[in-house]
Amino acid sequence: MSITLVVVILNYILPIMAFAGLDGDYAAFDNGHYIAVARNVCGQYFGWALASAQIVSVCGLFTQAVLKNTYLVCGMAEQGMLPGALAARMPYTNSPYVALVATSVVLVLIMPLRTFKTILGVDVDLYCAALLLEIGAFLRLRSTLPDRPREYRVPVDGVWVYIAFIPAIIITVAGVVLGGWLEFMVMIAFIAGGIVVILILHFLRDARPAWFSLAEGVSDVMGSAAYQRLDPQEPASAP
């Protein structure tokens, strides 16, 4: 994991250092400026090659993100966390087409935003909100269930657990604050919409429990031994 972390960091730092060294006009750095630098330094054909590589890379990243979210929704439906209709698959390709349509609806909702920069800011704000939620969940579990067995345990205890996360919390909050009011309000709207969806799902689970059944031929992940080790509910003690 340490090697992977170093590789990921270098993957960001080395290109920035290279292009910054080739072009000192930092005020001109904007979307697509790497292509202009490559064309000026290495020629027009190299600029085209870099632009083509960036297009393929962005398309791949976008496709990966859509498919990841699609199969996440499908998997939750197969486990009974979401209505089973979202787990429907194509007969020949086995693709979860209903989950794909549901995921695409979110993309359609953000299309009316003014610019790509605004859409990116909303995405970053939602990512920061998710990180804060994960950090809060981690701190709560370490506070309420400090001795519970874990697959990996962060090697700090007591007040040092909270101190260790202070820099991450500050950076994450700063990312939201610096994003702009429009991005922040859209993020709040998505979070509020998510809360409404959760409340509707709770109502449907009580009103239509058959919609939330385990899909046929799928293993019950929540009933597995690995999940039971992570379940925060302690088993009832024998009388």
Amino acid found at 139: L
Mean pLDDT of 198-217: 88
- What residue spans define the domains of the chain? 13-54, 65-110, 113-214
Mean pLDDT of 3-19: 85
Q: CA–CA distance from 2 to each of 6, 8, 9, 80, 124 (Å)?
A: 6, 10, 11, 36, 25
**Helix runs in 32-158, H state only:** 33-42, 44-78, 97-110, 116-144
With pLDDT > 90 as the criterion, what percentage of the chain qualifies? 22
User: pLDDT confidence of 1, banded at 50, 70, 90?
Assistant: low
Mean pLDDT of 18-29: 78
- Has residue 144 got a pLDDT over 70? yes
Nearest to 39 by CA among 16, 19, 59, 25: 19
- Has residue 231 got a pLDDT over 70? no
Mean pLDDT of 174-190: 87
For helices 116-144 and 181-207, angle between their N-to-C axes, nearest 10 degrees: 60
- Has residue 236 got a pLDDT over 50? no
Predicted pLDDT at 196: 94
The count of residues in the chain is 239
Predicted pLDDT at 192: 94
Mean pLDDT of 91-112: 87
